[in-house]
Chain A
Amino acid sequence: MEQKTSQSATRSVTAIDGAMALIVILLIVQIWLVSATLETYLAGHHETALPGTIISGAIFLACFGLYLFIERIDAESHKP
């Protein structure tokens, strides 16, 4: 029984680590996107601002979804 609980805890930590790795990858893409949009804006090309913002919003929503996933796993691991 104790071994089963330990395996479950290991699995949940692995799932959280995977979700965190995905968030980090998305964040790197988002940082690149902001810098690219800023550079094109400063160069006078205003047409990239809207698609850049939409994609950045989608990435933020994906990160938030992954955060909710982490919270859920965390909540499940705290169940008595």
Chain B
Amino acid sequence: MKLFRKPSREPLWRDEFSVFSGEEKYVSRRQFSKFLVLTSLGMFVGNLWILVRSWFSRQPSYPVMAITHVDEVPVRGVKLFQYPTPQEQCILLRTGTDTYVAYSQKCTHLSCAVFYSAATNRLECPCHNGAFSVHDGSPLQGPPRRPLPRVVLTRKGDVLVATGIQLEG
């Protein structure tokens, strides 16, 4: 079985720009299908690129960083901080006398900054009226479907320390 066309003795331009009208429909279809298959190859390469990127960033390491003194934030009060890089804005909430939670401030819909609404006791996104639970960061209302990334906190004496980021709940 012959897979490809036999190479013509004619130059390529004469093969691709035939003077016979009957040949033209084959040339245009062949060229278009070649373009489609090359696009498909491009998509596959894109997927491979995502795979390689995810392979190298599978387990990101997070720094251990002191956030605040425990008495600095009042009950139902908030403190903004940057973690794990100075570009990543996060929000710390004191939900009870001895309970603290912290989340990334980026809404999981379109990355607007969420803020704490004391009236409704939830984290709200002003862009599209999204809302998240203060207890686990899960979406409660609006377009967001994923929970807010949670900053893992540990208490060392009187200091709250961030040790990592938990993506699910």
Contacts and interface: CB of A to CB of B under 8 A. Distances in A.
B58 interface: yes
B37 A16 contact: no
Interface in B13-41: 22, 25-26, 29-30, 32-34, 36-37, 39-41
B118 interface: no
A38 to B, nearest CB: 6
B46 interface: yes
Query: Is the contact region of chain A dominated by helix, strand, or loop, or is it mixed?
Result: helix
B56 to A, nearest CB: 10
A70 B33 contact: yes
Contact of A67 (B34, B44, B53, B146): B34
A30 B47 CA distance: 10
Interface string A36-80: 011001011110011011001101100110111011101101100
Given A13-B25, A49-B51, A67-B33, A27 B39 contact: yes
Interface stretch (B2-10, B74-82, B135-143): B2-10
Contacts of A60: 37, 40-41, 43-44
Q: Which are the 3 A-B pairs with shortest beta-carbon distances? A: A46-B54, A56-B47, A49-B54
27 contacts: A16-B33, A17-B29, A19-B33, A20-B29, A20-B36, A23-B36, A23-B37, A27-B36, A27-B43, A30-B43, A34-B43, A34-B47, A37-B47, A41-B50, A46-B57, A49-B51, A49-B53, A52-B47, A53-B48, A53-B50, A56-B46, A56-B47, A57-B47, A59-B44, A63-B40, A71-B30, A72-B1
Interface of B: 1-6, 22, 25-26, 29-30, 32-34, 36-37, 39-41, 43-44, 46-48, 50-51, 53-55, 57-58, 108, 146, 149, 167
Interface of A: 9, 13, 16-17, 19-20, 23-24, 26-27, 30-31, 33-34, 37-38, 41, 43-46, 49-50, 52-53, 56-57, 59-60, 63-64, 66-68, 70-72, 74-75, 77-78
